[in-house]
Amino acid sequence: MTTLVLFNNKGGVGKTSLCYNLAWAFADLDLSVVAVDLDPQANLTAMFLDDERLEQLWPESGHAKTVYGAIQPLIKGTGDVSEPHVEDISDNIGLVAGDLSLSLFEDSLSENWPKCLDRQERAFRVVSAFYRVIRAAMALRQAHLALVDVGPNLGAINRAALVAAEHVLVPLNPDLFSLQGLRNLGPALRRWREEWEERVDRNPEPGLPLPQPAMNPVGYVVQQHAVRLDRPVLAYERWMKRIPHVYREAVLGQESCAATEADPSSDKHCVALLKHYRSLMPMAMEARKPIFHLRPADGAIGSHADAVQEARRDFERLARAVAARCGLELP
C-alpha cells in the first residue's frame, strides 16, 4: 500500500483538480485507489459528490461518515479512531470524505506533537490518527494507492498528513507565488521528517502502528501554463526556468547553480507539464467527470473532443510516471 500526498504551500495551483483527475487516471489503469480529503475546505469531496450526497454526509446530527467522524472518538477522549466510511465512487475509486469540522482537530495536533517527546501514548495516537485512518480505508477497499489532498498551509493538520505519507508530489504554476511556496514547503518537509524521526522511536506502545519517517519527494508537476506553438508564452518562461533550481535547493536540500538552470521539460525532477485545458475544466466540473471522460453529450465536440483525447494521453503518462517514481507496479 502506497500513500501519496499532493502538497504545495501556495493555493490556487490546481492541486485538488490534479488529485481528482489523477485518481481517475489510475482507476482507468485498473489500479484501486482511495482518495482521502484532509483539506478542511473539503474541495476534493465536493468534486466527487453532488450536493444531495454531501448533505447526507454532513447532517446537523453529526458527521459519522467523514474523516472527522473517524477521528471523533479520539478527539472526545471516548476511544481511538474508528473504522472510516469509504464512499464508493467507482469500482476502482473509494473516497474518505472531507469535513469542515476537521479544522477543530488542529489544536489537538499542535498540543500533542511536543508530548510525543515525553513518550505519551495518547500523543502518538493523536499524531498518527490520519495514518491509521488511511491505512484502514485502504484495507477496506484493498487499495494499492491512497491519494491525499491537503490545504495550502504549513499547519498541524498538514504536518500530520505528511507524517502519514510515503511520497509527496508538488503541483506548481509557473509564477513567483509557486516558487515562494517551494521555498516555504521544502524546509518544512525536511524539518517535519527530522522531528518525526526524533519522536517515532519514543512510542511507548509497541502495538500501535506508526508511519516511518518518509515524506519522499517524487517530483513536481507544472500545471496551467499557457502554450503557443508548443512552447510556454514568454510571460511564464522566466518562471519556468527557475523552477528546477528552486526545487533542488528548497525541497531536496541540494546545492544548485542558478547559472545552470534547466527548463522543467529537461529536468529529471519534473514529472509532467500539463497544459491549461481552459474550458474543459469547468465543463468537467459541471458533468462531475474527469476531463478525459467528457463526451459530446457533455459539450466536448469539435476541438474540445480533440483536447479530451490529448488530456487522456497526458494523464495516463502522468499516472504511469508517478507510479514508477513511487515504486508502484501497475496491473
Residue ranges per domain, the chain? Answer: 2-268
In the structure, what pLDDT confidence band is assigned to residue 125 with cuts at 50, 70 and 90?
Answer: very high
HSE (side-chain half, CA atoms, 13 Å) at 45: 28
Range of weakest confidence among 35-49, 56-70, 223-237, 282-296: 223-237
Tell me how far CA of residue 78 lies from CA of 73, 74, 81, 104, in angstroms.
5, 6, 10, 16
pLDDT band at 277 (very low <50, low <70, confident <90, very high): confident
Q: Check whether 182 has a pLDDT greater than 80.
A: yes
The values of phi and psi at residue 148, to 5°, are: -115, 125
Average pLDDT, the chain: 91
Rounded to whole angstroms, the Cα distance separating 292 from 307 reads 8
Mean local confidence (pLDDT), 196-210: 96
- Write down the pTM of the prediction: 0.93
Residue 206: DSSP 8-state: T
Q: Which of 7-11, 172-176, 229-233 has the lowest mean pLDDT?
A: 229-233
| pLDDT for position 231 | 52
Helices and strands of the chain, counted as H and E runs: 12, 10
Percent of the chain with pLDDT over 90: 73
The more confidently predicted of residues 120 and 285 is 120
* Mean pLDDT of the region 142-164: 96
Ramachandran angles phi, psi of 73, nearest 5°: -60, -35
Mean pLDDT within 273-282 = 83
What pLDDT band is residue 26 in, cutting at 50, 70 and 90?
Answer: very high
pLDDT at 229 over 50: no
Give the model's pLDDT for residue 262: 73
Residues written for the chain: 331
Per-residue pLDDT reduced to its tens digit, 250-275: 999 988 765 555 788 889 999 999 98
Rounded mean pLDDT, 241-251: 92
Residue 161 pLDDT greater than 70, yes or no: yes
Fold classification of 2-268 is: Rossmann fold (3.40.50)
Confidence grade of residue 281 (pLDDT, cut at 50, 70, 90):
confident
226 band by pLDDT with thresholds 50, 70 and 90: low
Question: In the structure, what pLDDT confidence band is assigned to residue 300 with cuts at 50, 70 and 90?
Answer: confident
